[in-house]
Structure 1
Amino acid sequence: MTAYSDPQTAEPAGPGEKTALLHRGLGVGSIVFMVIAAVAPLGAACAVLPLVFALSGNAAAPLYFLSAVVVLCIFAVGFTLMSRRVQNAGAFYSYVQAGLGKISGAGTASLALVSYYLLLIGLYALLGVSAAAVVDQYLGLTVDWWVPAFAFLIVVALLGYRDIEVSAKVLGVALVLEALVVLVIDIAILAQGGVSGFSAQPLDPSHAFDGTPGLGLMFAFFAFIGFEATAVFRSEATNPTRTIPRATYIAVALIGTMYAFTSYSIAIGIGADGAAAVSGADPSNVVQNLATQYVGTAMEDAVRILLVTSVFACVLSFHNVVARYQFNLANGKLLPGFLGEVHPKHRAPSHSSVVVTVMSVVVLVLMLLLGLDPITEVYTWFSGAATLGVIALMALTSISVIAFHRRYHADTPLWGSVLAPVLSLIGLGFVLYMIVRNFDLLVGTNAAATAILVALAASFVIGAVVTAVTRARRPDRYAELLENRRTTEGRPSQD
C-alpha cells in the first residue's frame, strides 16, 4: 500500500499529470457565492418552495427546511473533518475511497459524475423554458426552448473554460440580485401582515405531521442540492483546510435561513390555512403572484427576468462542478489523462470543461430527438435522479467517515468521527427511504421511476465492477488508481 499523495501540491511527474497549478484565489466568500448560486435561491423560491407546501399538505415548510439544516450541519461535521484529513478535491468519492476502499470509491465517483451530469442537463432544459417564456412575454417572439438553452450553453462554455474567478464574479452579481428580490418580497409581505396577520402555524411542530410530511421533507432536501460542492473547489481555495469547512457551514446556514424565512413569508402571504391548497393549484406562479400583490407589477417582471439569471447561475455552477469532478478523476487515473490538465493561462481545468460542454450538447440533442418534454420529463426526471444520487452519496460518505477514523485515526474525538456521522446517516437514511418510496411522484410515472433507479444503481455498480476487474487482471494499473491523495498525517491509502 502506498502513501497518499496530493495532486494539488505535487510536481508533475509525467503524462497525465497536471502541467500547471490551478488558480488558488478562491476565499470563503467566493466559494459560498458559487455554492449558493448552485442552489439558485430565486429558482428554488419559485419552483421548489411551493411544492413543499403543495405536496406536504400543510404549512410547515419552514420546519422542514430547518430540519434539513440540522441534518446537513451534522453531516458537515464528518464531511469537513474528512476535507482536512483527505486533501483532495474529489469530495464524495475521495472520502469514500479513503474509508471504504478503491472499489467503493470508484463506484461512488461514477454515481457522482452521472448524478451531476443529469442535474446539469435538467437545468439546461429549465433554463431554456424560462428564457423562452421571458422572450415571448416581453419581446413578443415565440421560440422553442432549445434555442435559448443552446445560446446560454455557449456562454457557460466560454466562462467555464476560463479562470474560476471569472465565474465566481458572474455568479456573485447574479446571486446578489436574486437574493435582494426574494428579500424585498419577504419583507413586503411581513410588513403588510399578509392575508390575515402573523401566524404561528408554520412554526408549530404539531402541524408538521399533517398530510404527507415525508414529501415535504424530501423536497426541502432537494432545495439544498449543491451545497456539498464546497469541497470540489478545494484545489482553487486560498487555504483549503480553513476555507472549505467555513464555506460549508456558512453555505448551509445561509441557504437554510433563506428558505425558512421565505417559506414562512409565503405562508403568511397566501394564508397559512390555505398555503397547501393555493400552492397546489398553481405552484409555478405563487411567488410571481405574491410579488404583484405585495410589491407591484414591476417586481413581478423582475422575478420573471431574474429567474432566468438564477437558473443560469445554477447551470454555470454545476458546469464547473462537473468539470472539476472529471479533472480529479483523471488525476486518479479513472478517466483519460488529458482531462486532468490545467490551462497554462487560465489556470483552470479547461480541457475537462470542454468535454462537459460537448457532453451537454450531445445529451440535449438526444433529448430533442426523443421528443421529451423539457419540464415534465427532462427537468423533472433528471433533477429527481440527481437528488436521489446525491443523498445516497452523502449517506455513503457518513459511513466512510466512521470507517476511516476507526482504522487510521482512532484517537479522533467521538463526536466528529462517530456520533455525528451516525446521526447524519440516520437522518439521511430516512430521507433516502422517503425519496425511493415516493420516487414515482417525483419523476411522474412508475416506469420512469424504475428506469432511473436502475440507471443510478448501475452507474455505481459499473464503476465498482470495472475497478474490481482491474484489480484482478491488472494489479499494476489498479495500484495507480485513486492514489492522488494523502491525509494530513500521511496515513496509507486503503485498498
Structure 2
Amino acid sequence: MATVSDPPPSAPTRASAPGDTSPGDTRPHRLAGRLGPGAIVFMVVAAAAPLTVIAGSVPIGIAAGNGAGYPAMYVVAGVVLLFFAVGFTAMTRHVPNAGAFYSYVGAGLGRGPGLGAALVALISYVTVQGAVYGYIGFLIGDLVAGYGGPSLPWWLWTALVLAIAGVLGYRHIELSSKVLGVLLVAEVGIVLVLDAFVVARGGGPEGLSTAFLRPDDVLAGAPGLGLMFAIAGFIGFEATAIFRDEARDPDRTVPRATYLALAIIAVFYTVSSWAIVSAWGDTAVVGQSAADPGGIVIATAQQYVGTAAADVMNVLFATSLFAAVLSFHNVLARYFFSLGNTGVLPGACGRSHTRHASPHVASLVTTVVGAVLMAVCAAAGLDPVLEVFTWLAGIASVGIVLLMLLACLAVVVFFRRTGLDRRPWHSLVAPSLGLIGLALVLVLLVDNLPLLMGGSTALGVGAGVLLAAALAGGWVLALLRPQAARSLTAAGPADAAPQI
C-alpha cells in the first residue's frame, strides 16, 4: 500500500515500513503482527457480540419472526454467508491490500465501485460502532444505578468507553486481542452454562424443542423477518481480511479465521436460541419474548441456573458490548489506515507507530469520529437505545449486507476476467449462490428499513438514500481524485489484473 501511488506489483517494499513515521515520507507503510487464526477469530467474533445477540436479537427474532422455528434461521444465514466466505477467502491471496471490501470490489468491478464501497464501509462501521456506544452508555449507567451507584447521563459512560477503546486501539493489536479473548470467553461461557442447564433439565414444560427441524414451524409467522434479524447477528465476522497485514501468514490465516469465525457464530447462535425456546416451550416462548424481549434471557438464567448467574450475565452484557466496540474500533481504524495509504484520505492516516506498529493516527481519527457522533446524539437529546442504537444499527445492517453482495459480484467478475482461480466452486458457483442469497436478504432489509429505524418511514428512506449516495459517490471521487486507490487491482500477476 502506498500514500498516493504504488510501485508496480513486482517491486519490492520495505520490511521495516511499520516503524517509519517520519514526516513527508510517502513510501508504503504496513502494520506488523503475528496474529494466528485464533487471535483474529477472537476479534471478529467479539464484534458480533454473541451475548448481546442472544439477549437482545433472539427474543425479537422469535417474537417478530417465525416463533419457535427461529433457531433454523441461523442455519440458513450461516449457509448464505458460507457461500460468501468461499469467494471472499479465494480472493484473499490475490488482493494484498488490507482494505477488505473496498479492495475486493475495486479489484473486481473497478475504481469507481471500489471507492463507493469504501465510503459505504466507512458509514457502516462508523454507525455500527456508534450504535454500540449508545447502548453501552445506557447499560453501564443502568447497572451502576441498579447497584446503588450515582445516576449519571449515558453519554458520560460512553465517553469513558470511548477513551478506553481509543487507548487500546492506539497500542499494538496483540493487546486488543488479549483483552477481547478474555471478554469473549467470559460472555460465551455464561451462555453455554445456561444452555447446559436447560439441556440437562430436559427443557421446560414441553421438553426440548424440535420446532427448528419442522418445515411448518420454520416457515410459520414471518420467516423473512426472522432471517433478517438472524443475519444481522453475524455482522463483524466479515472483517477478518482487514487484519491481513498483522496476520502470521495472511494467505492461510485469513481464510482459516473466516471459516472458523463463521462456524463458531452459526453453531453458537443456533444452539443457544434453541435452548431459549426449549426453556419456555414452543408455545409460551413467543408470548414471553413479545412481553419482555429485553429480559427473557436473564429471566431464563435466573430460573435455570440461579440469581448469581443472572447477575453475572447482566455484567457480561456490558462487557460484551465493550468487546464489540473495541473490535469495531480496530476494524474502522484499519479502514482509515488503508484509505490513507491508497491516497483516498490524507496520507497521515496511513502512518504506523514506531513502537507499536499500529495505525495510531487512524485510531485517533476513529476515536474523534466516534466522539463527535456521540456528542451530536447527546446534544440532540436522543434516547441511547430506542434512537441512537436502533437508527445507527439499521443503517449499518443494510450497508454491510450491501458490501457483502458487491464483494460476491466482484469475486465472480475478477476470476472470470483474470483466470487466476479456475476452480468452479470457489470462483463461480459459491459466490454466485452467495450473491443470490444476499440479494434476497438485502431486499428484506430495504423493505423493512423503517422497522430497523424504529418504525420511522422518513428515517428509513433517509438511510437508504445516504447509502445509495455514498456508493454513487465512488464514481465522483474517482473523477476528482484520479490518483487515489490506483493500486487496488495490483492483484496476482502484474499482467493479469486490470489497472483502475
Short-chain TM bin:
over 0.9
Give the aligned partner of residue 139 of structure 2.
130
Give the aligned partner of residue 281 of structure 1.
291
Aligned-partner Cα distance in 2 for 1:316–1:349: 14
**Quick one: structure 1 residues 403 and 354, their matched pair in 2 at CA, closer, same or farther if it must change by over 3 Å?**
same
Give the aligned partner of residue 54 of structure 1.
63
Q: Choose the corresponding residue for 2:485, options 469, 481, 484.
A: 481
Structure-to-structure mapping, 1:460-471, within 5 angstroms: 460-470=471-481
Q: Equivalent residue of 2:63, what SS? A: helix
Question: By how many angstroms is 1:172 displaced?
Answer: 0.3
Q: Which letter maps to 2:57?
A: V
**Quick one: structure 1 residues 195 and 206, their matched pair in 2 at CA, closer, same or farther if it must change by over 3 Å?**
same
Give the aligned partner of residue 67 of structure 1.
76
Give the aligned partner of residue 457 of structure 1.
468
Contact 2:107 2:491 in 1 (8 A): no
Aligned-partner Cα distance in 1 for 2:484–2:55: 46
Q: Equivalent residue of 2:93, what SS? A: helix
Give the aligned partner of residue 156 of structure 2.
147
Contact 1:99 1:404 in 2 (8 A): yes
**Alignment root-mean-square deviation, CA:** 1.9
Structure-to-structure mapping, 1:231-380, within 5 angstroms: 231-380=241-390
- Segments of 5+ residues of structure 1 without an aligned counterpart are 471-477
Q: Say if 2:213 is the partner of 1:203.
A: yes
Give the aligned partner of residue 475 of structure 1.
none
Aligned-partner Cα distance in 1 for 2:187–2:156: 24
Contact 2:13 2:28 in 1 (8 A): no
Question: By how many angstroms is 1:6 displaced?
Answer: 8.9
Percentage of matched positions with identical amino acids: 43
Question: By how many angstroms is 1:19 displaced?
Answer: 7.1
Question: By how many angstroms is 1:467 displaced?
Answer: 1.2
Question: By how many angstroms is 1:199 displaced?
Answer: 2.5
Aligned-partner Cα distance in 2 for 1:361–1:5: 41
Q: Say if 2:222 is the partner of 1:217.
A: no
Q: Choose the corresponding residue for 1:416, options 426, 429, 437.
A: 426
Aligned-partner Cα distance in 2 for 1:323–1:7: 26
Q: Say if 2:93 is the partner of 1:84.
A: yes
Give the aligned partner of residue 474 of structure 1.
none
Contact 1:40 1:313 in 2 (8 A): yes
Q: Choose the corresponding residue for 1:494, options 480, 489, 499.
A: 499
**Quick one: structure 1 residues 42 and 235, their matched pair in 2 at CA, closer, same or farther if it must change by over 3 Å?**
same
**Quick one: structure 1 residues 466 and 484, their matched pair in 2 at CA, closer, same or farther if it must change by over 3 Å?**
closer
Contact 2:96 2:491 in 1 (8 A): yes
Give the aligned partner of residue 190 of structure 2.
181
Aligned-partner Cα distance in 1 for 2:468–2:149: 45
Aligned-partner Cα distance in 1 for 2:76–2:387: 29
**Quick one: structure 1 residues 109 and 358, their matched pair in 2 at CA, closer, same or farther if it must change by over 3 Å?**
same
Aligned-partner Cα distance in 2 for 1:411–1:78: 10
Contact 1:18 1:341 in 2 (8 A): no
Contact 1:5 1:485 in 2 (8 A): no
**Quick one: structure 1 residues 19 and 398, their matched pair in 2 at CA, closer, same or farther if it must change by over 3 Å?**
closer
Q: Equivalent residue of 2:411, what SS? A: helix
Contact 1:214 1:434 in 2 (8 A): yes
Question: By how many angstroms is 1:386 displaced?
Answer: 0.3
Q: Say if 2:161 is the partner of 1:157.
A: no
Aligned-partner Cα distance in 1 for 2:14–2:409: 28
Give the aligned partner of residue 428 of structure 1.
438
Question: By how many angstroms is 1:433 displaced?
Answer: 0.6
Q: Equivalent residue of 2:295, what SS? A: helix
**Quick one: structure 1 residues 108 and 19, their matched pair in 2 at CA, closer, same or farther if it must change by over 3 Å?**
closer
Aligned-partner Cα distance in 2 for 1:482–1:264: 48
CA deviations over 1:303-347 (Å, ceiling 9, x no partner): 110111110000000000000001001111000000000000010
Contact 2:29 2:350 in 1 (8 A): no
Structure-to-structure mapping, 1:85-100, within 5 angstroms: 85-100=94-109
Contact 2:62 2:68 in 1 (8 A): yes
Q: Which letter maps to 1:323?
A: A
Instruction: Report the count of equivalent residues.
Output: 488
Question: By how many angstroms is 1:469 displaced?
Answer: 3.7
Q: Which letter maps to 1:183?
A: L
- Segments of 5+ residues of structure 2 without an aligned counterpart are 1-5
Contact 1:16 1:337 in 2 (8 A): no
Aligned-partner Cα distance in 1 for 2:7–2:98: 19
Aligned-partner Cα distance in 1 for 2:497–2:483: 13
Q: Which letter maps to 1:451?
A: G
Question: By how many angstroms is 1:43 displaced?
Answer: 1.0
Contact 1:292 1:300 in 2 (8 A): yes
Q: Say if 2:459 is the partner of 1:448.
A: yes
Q: Which letter maps to 2:393?
A: S
**Quick one: structure 1 residues 276 and 6, their matched pair in 2 at CA, closer, same or farther if it must change by over 3 Å?**
farther
Question: By how many angstroms is 1:260 displaced?
Answer: 0.1
Q: Say if 2:107 is the partner of 1:120.
A: no
Question: By how many angstroms is 1:484 displaced?
Answer: 5.6
Aligned-partner Cα distance in 2 for 1:492–1:19: 21
Question: By how many angstroms is 1:292 displaced?
Answer: 0.4
Contact 2:299 2:310 in 1 (8 A): yes
CA deviations over 1:402-439 (Å, ceiling 9, x no partner): 11111111661111111111100110011001111111
Aligned-partner Cα distance in 2 for 1:334–1:214: 38
Aligned-partner Cα distance in 2 for 1:243–1:494: 27
TM-score, length-normalised on structure 2?
0.94
